[in-house]
A and B are shown apart, each in its own frame.
Chain A
Amino acid sequence: MDNNLFKPGERVAVAASGGKDSTVLAYVMSELNRRHNYGLDLFLLSVDEGITGYRDDSLETVKRNEIEYGLPLKVVSYKDLYGWTMDEIVKTIGLKNNCTFCGVFRRQALDRGAALLKADKLVTGHNADDIAETVLLNILRGDIARLSRCTFITTGEDGPIPRCKPFKYTYEKEIVMYAYFKKLDYFSTECIYSPNAYRGFAREFIKDLERMRPRAILDIIRSGENFRTATSTKMPEQGTCERCGYISSQKLCKACLLLEGLNRGLPKLGIGRARGTNGLNKRVEQRNLRSERTGSNIESKQCGTLDF
């Protein structure tokens, strides 16, 4: 309420993976919508990355949610959008940078799905723990641009679809307890391809911190909101991708670039730092690129999207 996230009559797509965060989100959104007459048109939007033994199972959960909560479901798949499933991608490139591909593809997939549904907004189940982790990660990586944006409750207002994170101040523990006591139906296994993501460092630290001082998670978010970032920090210029028309700061959007690499048998294309403005001139990083954009590896958490 305080953040004026929604207006009556809006079409809102709820990103649903079948995990605890998105299940609770869907449940709570539909309950509040009903009880307080928000007048929102709610939909479930799910992404099928094509991961056998993981996504196909969690999608069953979402289909059950569709029936249980009475919210129409749309599933968008990597296969349809890009011609590749994650299983195929991993077979081609191995387990090193797979989370980069998945993250980039999912962000676009959600936007495209939301556009197909003619949604005005997209909501995701990112909780306080996720955002605190992201603040820490951005500090560790020196990403001042993301650091200044990652605590916004609504992002992408100047992009294709604005996204918001209503659970920004909700602890993961609270979500787990809510799901447990309300006996909500969710899927809790980690992605079978999740590697030793760098996010794991931050996650472990935050868990230890929470044990010592529970309010520290919210304090991290507060710090993130209050950081004195220079207003003239260089933000990349926003244009559109030549190939698919998606929002992009380079000639080709990241998804098209990665796809190009996959299709041409150049798995490292698009991985690592860009040199110059020509999107095709990338060089491979010397160190292992630990995928910074992955979700955490625990408990059905939907893999992190990129728009922090």
Chain B
Amino acid sequence: MASCGGGGGECHQSHCQRSEEDGGAEEETRERVASLSFAGDSPTSSATGDGALERCTKCGETVAAAAPRAVNGLCAACFRAYLFGKFKLAVTTNAMISPTDNVLVAFSGGPASRIALQFVHEMQCISLKNWDASKSQALPVFGVGVAFIDESAISIGPLHEMNKVIAQIRSIVSTLSPAHKELHIAPIENICSTSSNDGRIRLNELLDSVTDATGKEDFMKYLRMLTLQKIALDNGYSKLLLGSCTSTIACHVISATVKGQGYSLPGDVQYVDARWEVPVVLPLRDCTAEELNKLCHLDGLELLQLIKRPSNSINSLVSSFVARLRDENPSRERTIVRTAEKLRPFCFNKFVENTYHEFVPSRLRCKFQNINNSETALSEVLCPLCGSPLSEPEVQSLRNIQEKTQTPVENFAAHCCQSCSFQILPKGAESLQQFYTVLPQSVTVRVTDGTSDHSQLGELIDDYLLVVDDDDDDGT
């Protein structure tokens, strides 16, 4: 557990570069850490005896332990290197970022997305340095942009708060130099309409028609993803990077189970999610919220204090449940995610082959979908609201409805997964019709977007398909 992660050599390099650039930031960190433990707020100080010094389990430096037992007494520098190592390993092993990519980092202001932004920036700096130093400069350096969703249209906080927040974000992004990063601030209502006022009205109407508290929260989550996808598409980004960490994913595993979404769950917990037009990558998947929080604290990274509306949903119940489990056993979150990892992922959990794919080392070619594989040809039917692949019984019920003539609304509703049908779609034909009219076009268009074509294609080639054995995806 005390290893610095896969890229040991490179971690060290980045660490050295940092101290070169910042001239003694490392010293500052150590002092800060030392003062932390003397102040007695680190739990290990009581374990080791008030402010007693101990050796870092990795580098042997005699400093006060930076973190609680969960990170096994690493000093601040090694702890940082350990987290960065995990990030880098995830990126390289899954071929997440190619030199030609333009990566959009979704920034919420919380610790996870702050660290994601920081680490991507550091990777970019390393690539830049390497590019500078290389004679041929054949491969370019990937670009990075930042996206923030302005939710003041539905927020309970005063309006001027958002202006402060936006100013803060601009200042954070401006500190990430060299390599300029474009900042995109998109109001959430833009997904409903380009006109701001009309957008607000439509958005609020949409949210009011969702009566279930959990449904409302989840619907907002789906709208956020659509907004991020829109920003990415409109501005030429090729990857969308989220800061989803182990803790978030553990909560999602439980919530999805509890909402009956067990079939689609494996699609949401992988490193890569290519079902979207701009593929989504999760490089912080193996870091817990506690670790990321700790690092923000140690590095003095600025976080946004956004007012959260009180929640009485299943999601918040699950969060407190997982928090109780974590208190009882800190590694429970990892175990939960590991269980979900043992489920069979979907074909969209791999990148689609592209021109860059030829430059990828052969050991990483398996991270790309084989387009000749029949599994890809028969793609899953996806729910237009949440993007979940429909399970066999759901598809069956959809086909049954499609056999009879139906209106666009009925067709749309039939394509929704049973969880969205229950918690989001309004009950009653009239309210459903109204809801459908106000839905963003980017949602409704997903139904006519070739899912029926795929099933027809499936039927066409069905006779010619050989029976393929399941992959030897040994979950143990």
Contact = CB atoms under 8 A, between A and B. Distances in A.
Contact of A142 (B324, B335, B419): B335
B475 interface: yes
B186 interface: no
A222 B313 CA distance: 20
Contacts of B414: none
Contact of B253 (A139, A209, A225, A234): A139
B425 to A, nearest CB: 15
**B262, B324, B475, most chain A CB atoms within 10 A:** B262
B129 interface: no
B314 A230 contact: no
A114 to B, nearest CB: 31
B339 interface: yes
A229 interface: yes
B472 A136 contact: no
B476 A233 contact: yes
Interface string A138-155: 111111110100000000
Contact of A136 (B257, B317, B335): B257
Contacts of A136: 254, 257
A205 interface: yes
Contact of A205 (B265, B313, B317, B473): B317
B13 to A, nearest CB: 35
A300 to B, nearest CB: 26
A220 interface: yes
Given A139-B339, A227-B263, A212 B476 contact: no
A216 to B, nearest CB: 5
Contacts of A216: 258-259, 314
Interface string B325-363: 100110010011011101110000000000000000000
B350 to A, nearest CB: 15
Contacts of A263: none
B379 to A, nearest CB: 15
A213 interface: yes
Contact-residue size bin, chain B (C-beta under 8 Å from the other chain): 35 or more
Contacts of A4: none
Contacts of A209: 258, 314, 317
Interface in A213-270: 213, 215-216, 218-220, 222-234
Interface string B462-476: 000000001111111
Contacts of B473: 230, 232
**A136, A212, A228, most chain B CB atoms within 10 A:** A228
A223 B265 contact: yes
A228 B470 CA distance: 12
A157 interface: no
Interface in B244-263: 253-254, 256-263
B257 A230 contact: no
Contact of B339 (A142, A208, A225, A234): A142
Contacts of B256: 223
Given A205-B317, A229-B343, A144 B261 contact: no
B3 interface: no
B321 interface: yes
A135 B257 contact: yes
A105 to B, nearest CB: 28
A209 B259 CA distance: 11
Given A147-B339, A232-B470, A232-B473, A226 B332 contact: no
A178 interface: no
A222 B470 contact: no
B262 A223 contact: yes
A226 B253 contact: no
Contact of A141 (B259, B335, B391): B335
A201 interface: yes
Given A142-B339, A232-B474, A225 B262 contact: yes
B475 A144 contact: yes
Given A139-B253, A139-B339, A233-B474, A226 B263 contact: yes
A140 B475 contact: no
Contacts of A205: 317, 321
Given A227-B265, A232-B473, A140 B325 contact: yes
A228 B263 contact: yes
A212 to B, nearest CB: 6
B317 A222 contact: no
A209 B392 CA distance: 26
A16 to B, nearest CB: 32
B317 to A, nearest CB: 6
B475 A222 contact: no
B199 interface: no
Nearest to B312: A212
B214 interface: yes
A144 B332 CA distance: 15
B266 interface: yes
Contacts of A230: 342-344, 470-471, 473-475
Nearest to B267: A228
Contacts of B476: 144-145, 233-234
Interface in B118-155: none
A120 to B, nearest CB: 30
Contacts of A223: 256-263, 265
A274 to B, nearest CB: 14
B344 A229 contact: yes
B314 A213 contact: yes
A139 B325 contact: no
B338 A142 contact: yes
A143 B474 CA distance: 13
Contacts of B263: 223, 226-228
A273 to B, nearest CB: 13
A102 B473 CA distance: 35
25 contacts: A136-B254, A138-B339, A140-B335, A141-B335, A142-B336, A143-B339, A144-B475, A205-B321, A212-B214, A212-B313, A212-B314, A213-B314, A219-B419, A223-B257, A223-B258, A223-B262, A223-B263, A225-B262, A226-B263, A228-B266, A229-B475, A230-B343, A230-B344, A232-B473, A233-B342
The 10 A-B pairs of least Cβ separation, nearest first, read: A223-B262, A219-B260, A226-B263, A228-B344, A144-B342, A223-B257, A226-B262, A230-B473, A222-B260, A142-B335
Interface of B: 214, 253-254, 256-263, 265-266, 312-314, 317, 321, 324-325, 328-329, 332, 335-336, 338-340, 342-344, 391-392, 419, 422, 470-476
Given A201-B321, A201-B324, A219-B258, 17 more contacts: A135-B257, A136-B254, A136-B257, A140-B335, A143-B339, A212-B313, A215-B422, A219-B259, A223-B259, A223-B263, A225-B262, A228-B344, A229-B475, A231-B470, A233-B342, A233-B476, A234-B474
